[in-house]
Amino acid sequence: APEPATLVIFGVTGDLAKRKLLPAVFGLWQDGLLGTAFNILGVGRQDMTDEQFREFALDALRTSKETDEIQEGSLEKFASLLFYTFGDFADIGIYERIKRELDEAESAHGGRKNAVFYLSTPPSLFEPISTGLGSAGLADETEGWRRLIIEKPFGRDLQSALDLNATIHAHWQETQVYRIDHYLGKETVQNIMAIRFGNAIFEPIWNRTYVDHVQITAAEDLGLEGRAGYYEEAGVVRDMLQNHLMQLFALTAMETPVAFDAGAIRDEKVKVLRATRPITEDAAVRGQYAAGTVSGEQVVGYRDEPNVKPGSKTPTYVAVKLEIDNWRWSGVPFYLRSGKHLPKKVTEIAVVFQRPPLGLFPGGAERNVLAFRIQPDEGVSLKFSSKTPGQEDLLREVVMDFRYDAFGAQLESPYSRLLLDAMLGDATLFPREDEVERAWELVAHILNMDVEPQPYTSGTWGPDAADDLLGHDRRWRRL
Ligand code: BG6
């Protein structure tokens, strides 16, 4: 059974907590995965009583699309586990109050001092909160475990990430720190490792001898969604490339870990990131959406979005070429792209194999493709050539398709998996400090926000220049 514990959520009245975290915790709790000695302490700046917070939380659960089916009487019982405290995060008083609340919960938990502190706040608060908790003695693990979950973005460049790590480590050991990248909580992302290392047929061809190149796409049809304040400072390189895409890349390119545990897997991810060359200006294309039509709807250009600076150069699209200097991948480019207001939402990793050495059949020979469909229509497919029925020896590309539907199970929210892992002390699916720092190094040259991005019409696949990145013999997959 899970150990007694308290989950402390900072920024609990924020959007993420409301839409994702509370429903995820509720689902885990209702499934009995959090045990009976469990409490949630919400922390915010807003003045609220415990009672008002319970109402707030129940309302969030009733309205979120991510809430599991609610069992009879379950909401009321869940509500009784919730407490709230508020104040200024820069003031030591709030940490003293949190400590008192924890003491109370923990005596009811048989004296075990287990707590996870989830920082679901703007990044400027990561430092004051982790320091405040530490100074109040709340990182101390002598009578239980204390863990810190930190939302993204983790820094805005290498230096700020180094500084943030140093500040955190003044009070917290690295083993206590869980940096969230919600892509790692996705079932289909974990399946990259399962397919690669749980089968014998893929790994032998997963290298420069057989692979021509790899394409990783994270396309979104959504635009800014009213997040100008954040996005103007971040842009797509910080919002998607440095974290989510780099993680997909590392899982696809890494060597076989010696064990399936946090240390071994993260070691391999760091190793391949170290072997990867920092992206140069000429290996990157940045774009920004102009007005257009997405999914049948007219949308304005990025610069005309509310609260975007006139003439903003914030990129909303990026495509890059990664080169890896190691034995397995030397000479095999990995192309990564992500953008807002593209034609549809689709995330995919495609391993594109080399053509057969001889084109024996009319029309030449196509490249086989193994594609991991991360979302939606989750699955894995293999594209290869087959003879078309008839007198002629004509080949056509066909697809062998595995769909997650086959399991007949609903895919869980990535947040439930990650929250549970943190409660269980499993850091496998959380990027370690050296990974995050190396990922910043890789994008360092393309972080400059003063470069004019290339406009692309909303609802298209990004600027034309992204095609040139692949050279004349390769093409982005049509998704
Ligand atoms: C977030 C980004 O981390 O990931 C958003 O801040 C983006 O801009 C989102 O839309 C995409 O996540 P998902 O799970 O919908 O692919």
pLDDT, tens only, 316-353: 999 999 999 999 999 999 999 999 999 999 999 999 99
Cβ of 239 less than 6 Å from ligand 1: yes
Cβ of 220 less than 6 Å from ligand 1: yes
Give residue 411's pLDDT: 85
Is the predicted pLDDT of residue 155 greater than 90, yes or no? yes
> What's the CA gap between 29 and 13, in Å, rounded?
20
Greater confidence, 66 or 243?
A: 243
> What's the CA gap between 157 and 439, in Å, rounded?
9
89 is annotated as contributing to ligand binding: yes
By three-state DSSP, how is residue 281 classified? Answer: helix
Is the predicted pLDDT of residue 21 greater than 90, yes or no? yes
Give residue 299's pLDDT: 97
Of the pLDDT bands very low, low, confident and very high (cuts 50, 70, 90), residue 119 is very high
345 is annotated as contributing to ligand binding: yes
Is the predicted pLDDT of residue 357 greater than 90, yes or no? no
Of the pLDDT bands very low, low, confident and very high (cuts 50, 70, 90), residue 412 is confident
Tokens of 29: 């709790």
How much of the chain, in percent, has pLDDT values that exceed 90?
91
8 Å CB contact between 138 and 178: no
- Tell the residue nearest (CA) to atom 8 of ligand 1: 239
pTM to 2 decimal places: 0.96
8 Å CB contact between 285 and 305: no
- Whole-angstrom distance between the N-terminal and C-terminal Cα of the chain? 44
Q: How far is the CA of 135 from the centre of ligand 1 (A)?
A: 33
Greater confidence, 2 or 84?
A: 84
CA nearest neighbour of 184 among 13, 426, 17: 426
Q: In this predicted model, what pLDDT tens digit does every residue of 97-109 receive, in sequence order?
A: 999 999 999 999 9
Mutate-to-test residue for ligand 1 from 120, 150, 151, 182, highest number of ligand atoms within 8 A of CB? 182
> What's the CA gap between 217 and 112, in Å, rounded?
45
Instruction: Using the Cα atoms of residue 155, residue 158, residue 160 and residue 163 in order, give the sign of their dihedral.
Output: positive
Is the predicted pLDDT of residue 392 greater than 90, yes or no? no
88 is annotated as contributing to ligand binding: yes
Give residue 358's pLDDT: 86
Cβ of 267 less than 6 Å from ligand 1: no
Cβ of 435 less than 6 Å from ligand 1: no
Of the pLDDT bands very low, low, confident and very high (cuts 50, 70, 90), residue 79 is very high
> What's the CA gap between 285 and 337, in Å, rounded?
9
CA nearest neighbour of 168 among 230, 122, 115, 125: 125
Dihedral in degrees, nearest 10, Cα atoms 10, 11, 16, 19: 100
- Tell the residue nearest (CA) to atom 13 of ligand 1: 183
Place of tokens 């050991």: 173
In angstroms and rounded to an integer, the radius of gyration of the C-alpha atoms of the chain is 24
All residues at 6 or more sequence positions from 43 whose CB lies less than 8 Å from its CB, including other chains: 8, 9, 10, 11, 12, 84, 85, 86, 94, 98
Mutate-to-test residue for ligand 1 from 244, 248, 305, 344, highest number of ligand atoms within 8 A of CB? 244
Tell how far CA 394 is from the center of its chain.
43
pLDDT mean over 452-474: 96
Please indicate whether residue 472 is annotated as part of the active site: no
Tokens of 465: 């220049």
CA nearest neighbour of 54 among 14, 16, 20, 12: 12
Query: Phi/psi of residue 234, each to 5°?
Result: -95, -60
Number of the ligand 1 atom closest to the C-alpha atom of 374 = 16
Is the predicted pLDDT of residue 91 greater than 90, yes or no? yes
Cβ of 305 less than 6 Å from ligand 1: no
Cβ of 101 less than 6 Å from ligand 1: no
